[in-house]
Amino acid sequence: MRLSITLRLALLFAATTAAVLLALGLFIGQLVDRHFEELDLAELTGKLELTRHALASVRREADLQALPVRLDDALVGHHSVSVAIETADGKRLYQSHHAVALPPALLANPGADTPAYALGWEHDGRRYRAVSALAPSGIPGQAPLLVAVVLDLEHHAGFTATFRTALWAAVATAILLASLLGWLIARRGLAPVRSIAGVARGISAERLHDRLAIEEVPAELIELVNAFNEMLSRLEDSFRRLSDFSSDIAHELRTPVSNLLTQTQVGLSKSRSSEEYREILASNSEELERLSRMIADMLFLAKADNQLIVPFREEVDLRAEIESLLEFYAVLAEEKSIRITCGGQVTLNGDRLMLRRAIGNVLSNAIRHTPDGGYIRIELRQTEGRGVLLSIENSGETIPAEHLPRLFDRFYRADPSRHREGEGTGLGLAITRSIVHAHDGEVSVSSTSGVTCFSIRWG
Amino acid sequence: MQNALTEEHAGEAMKILIVEDEPKTGDYLRQGLAEAGFVVDLARDGFDGMHLALTEAYDLILLDVMLPGVDGWQVLQAIRRAGKDIPVLFLTARDDVEDRVKGLELGADDYLVKPFAFAELLARVRTLLRRGSKAKEAETLTAADLELDLLRRRVTRGGKRIDLTAKEFGLLELLLRRQGEVLPRSLIASQVWDMNFDSDTNVIDVAVRRLRAKVDDDFEPKLIRTVRGMGYVLEVPEAA
């Protein structure tokens, strides 16, 4: 079952207040009972004292005859108290007006002179409390008499009942009220969460720049809000790249498509020699091949973005791969009199064809940007553990620092005027990065004082 | 021209079945292959394709994977289950590894990912058809007065020795072995340099230009020809 946090908090709050209030109610009830008990005991002790006093003043048999009257007088107005006096052999000498059946336990076990507790019982739906004690009379030689004082609790039973009802009613109301208040407090306390939800609900692709205001958020939620904002930043970044990519695609496709269209339609506008038609078709074919290469590259990148590129793993001798690539690019390097050196020897666990493509793209890029008579220096190095570092360094114009981080972006050209020169699709280095990432590696580039260096790092 | 393979095979043209539902692609493939000298049948859905493949005798089948009704995989399976050992080249619009693996496991011989260059297709078709025929392994390849000695790895033209680098030799050997065929750059890169990715450089153009300088510049007739928009071909000009 799914409980909202508000309900959860309110229920917890209600449960705790209920427990506390119930305990408090029980405690107060007990206190009140104890209080009455003590009052009762004091009254009983008082009356016991009074009776003993009266008995002590009995000196003769005649005094004994007058005792009931004396005691009755003394007990006038104390309707709830009744006193009984018995001889040791069970003969009742005195019984006040309100006769009460005395439990045998009371008569059998007379207590101390000043009793510490009263015996309680119930009879005919009424509750009683009583003390008993042995009291010597003033008549010499007579055995001590048993005095029992009984208190009918009816007089304060009514009060206790009313008190209890009132107490539990108050407790119940308090619990209800506390629960309601708890719910309101929980709701109010969770208002920031709702406001976060509100902002989150308002965020769409067009409003990815919205952020949650951190200063209005309680301390407990700062971490959550920070995480949320960071997620938004990442999303915004990815989204921006994606939309840049889409518009780049549109832009990159527009030029060749518009060339194709113009050329084809101009070609069709009048009748030409077959030589001219052939020329047009050949040119179209070249343009289309470039387009199809671009589409294949973009698909590769799209798959890489979705982690759909799973490199086949085998031991790859990177030095051997580079040597093959150098053999392939040798004619280009010779044309430009570029000196290429290669040092080091390492193996790497990876997909041979993909790695070859990744390194090939960096190499062809280096050859393209190295001036005639320049140099390219390739170095392979084993780094700590199983790490591998490949650096490809070439002489040439220093690339301004602001371009460096974006060199691996799709269609990014440091120098816009070089656009379309050299047949590149503008995706080579982006593909390199994707392949290297799929192999858990990192690419980086630095460029200072006429030397540009691409580094690929694994492990 | 002992090694120049034409589509005339034992006096009879090679028969190719194309199974392709996209109307334009199908038409152009049929036209292109017919003009390259093949006899071509075109089936526009998997059902017809399967029927033709099982009832007629073909030398090669070009099979599109995405077909209405019966798809390319099923056609391929049916062909193999019928015990027919015809080479099958499948065409797929999806560059998925699984697709490739599936196709090759089901018994396809090669595949091409759309969009592909027609020259590339033609080259692959010829490779597959050649695989079947047992041409005698020649020791020398010749075209006009150009001679390439495979055993001694020597090239002469008009009796004059020409020095070639190892890769130039490999390039010339490929052009000679497949003379008369237009070879796309991607095929040359993969056959000679084992580069199977599309390089965005003009390595092949430069390499061919250098080879021409050695083989063609000082001689007549010119043997290596650029076919714009397609690739390179080595052939003896007919007028010569």
pLDDT tens digits for range A91-133 = 787 887 777 777 777 777 777 777 777 888 888 778 888 888 8
Q: What angle do CA A232, A242, A429 make, to 5 degrees?
A: 120
Residues of chain A in contact with residue B230, where contact means CB-CB under 8 angstroms, are: 282, 285
pLDDT at A318 over 90: yes
pLDDT at residue B4, as a whole number:
39
Domain boundary among B132, B155, B180: B132
Q: Are residues A74 and A108 in the same domain?
A: yes
- Total domains, chain B: 2
**Residue A200 lies inside a defined structural domain of this protein:** no
Token readout for A126 is 């009424």
Given an 8 Å threshold on Cβ–Cβ distance, is A292 in contact with B115? yes
pLDDT at B78 over 80: yes
Q: Residue A436: which pLDDT band, with cuts at 50, 70 and 90?
A: very high
Name the more confident of B119 and A212.
B119
**Residue A347 lies inside a defined structural domain of this protein:** yes
Print burial letters for A7-46: b (CB count within 10 Å at least 16), e (below 16). Answer: eebbeebbeebbeebeeebeeeeeebeeebeeebbebbbe
- Name which of A75-89, A168-182, B110-124 the model is least confident about: A75-89
Domain boundary among A262, A280, A305: A305
pLDDT at A302 over 50: yes
ipTM: 0.75
Given an 8 Å threshold on Cβ–Cβ distance, is A286 in contact with B228? yes
Q: Are residues B154 and B173 in the same domain?
A: yes
pLDDT at residue A363, as a whole number:
93
Q: Residue A27: which pLDDT band, with cuts at 50, 70 and 90?
A: very high
Strands A375-382 and A339-343: parallel
State the CATH number of the domain containing residue A275.
Answer: 1.10.287
pLDDT at residue B239, as a whole number:
65
- Total domains, chain A: 3
Rg of chain B (C-alpha set): 19
**Residue B211 lies inside a defined structural domain of this protein:** yes
Q: Residue B1: which pLDDT band, with cuts at 50, 70 and 90?
A: very low
Residues of chain B in contact with residue A286, where contact means CB-CB under 8 angstroms, are: 228-229
Range B66-93 average pLDDT: 87
Q: Report the predicted TM-score, pTM, of the whole model to 2 decimal places.
A: 0.63
Does B98 contact A at CB distance below 8 Å?
A: no
Percent of chain A at pLDDT exceeding 70 = 97
> Whole domain around residue A87: which residue ranges?
5-176
State the CATH number of the domain containing residue A23.
Answer: 3.30.450
pLDDT tens digits for range B126-146 = 888 887 665 556 788 888 899
**Residue B2 lies inside a defined structural domain of this protein:** no
Q: Are residues A321 and A286 in the same domain?
A: no
Give the residue from A306, A328, A421 with the most B CB atoms within 10 Å of its CB, the best one to mutate: A328
- Name which of A98-102, A165-169, A364-368 the model is least confident about: A98-102
Residues of chain B in contact with residue A253, where contact means CB-CB under 8 angstroms, are: none
Give the residue from A303, A307, A312, A331 with the most B CB atoms within 10 Å of its CB, the best one to mutate: A331
pLDDT tens digits for range A217-244 = 778 888 888 888 888 888 888 888 778 7
pLDDT tens digits for range A263-291 = 899 888 889 899 999 889 888 888 888 88
Q: What angle do CA A390, A392, A396 make, to 5 degrees?
A: 165
* CA–centroid distance for B215 within its chain: 24
Given an 8 Å threshold on Cβ–Cβ distance, is B228 in contact with A283? yes
pLDDT at residue B137, as a whole number:
66
Name the more confident of A394 and A113.
A394
Nearest Cβ partner of B200 from A278, A299, A425? A425
Q: Are residues B109 and B19 in the same domain?
A: yes
pLDDT tens digits for range B150-194 = 888 899 998 899 999 999 999 999 999 888 888 988 889 988 988
Residues of chain A in contact with residue B196, where contact means CB-CB under 8 angstroms, are: 353
Percent of chain B at pLDDT exceeding 70 = 90
**Residue B22 lies inside a defined structural domain of this protein:** yes
Given an 8 Å threshold on Cβ–Cβ distance, is B207 in contact with A331? yes
Sign of the Cα torsion A209, A215, A217, A220 reads: positive
Phi, psi of A88 (to 5 degrees): -60, -30
Task: Write the Ramachandran bin of A286: left for phi over 0, alpha for psi from -120 to 50, otherwise beta.
Answer: alpha
pLDDT at residue B10, as a whole number:
44
> Whole domain around residue B229: which residue ranges?
140-234
Nearest Cβ partner of B117 from A289, A297, A368? A289
Given an 8 Å threshold on Cβ–Cβ distance, is B202 in contact with A329? no
pLDDT at residue A421, as a whole number:
47
pLDDT at residue B171, as a whole number:
94
Q: B residues 159-188 near A, CB within 8 Å?
A: 167
**Residue B191 lies inside a defined structural domain of this protein:** yes
Q: Are residues B144 and B101 in the same domain?
A: no
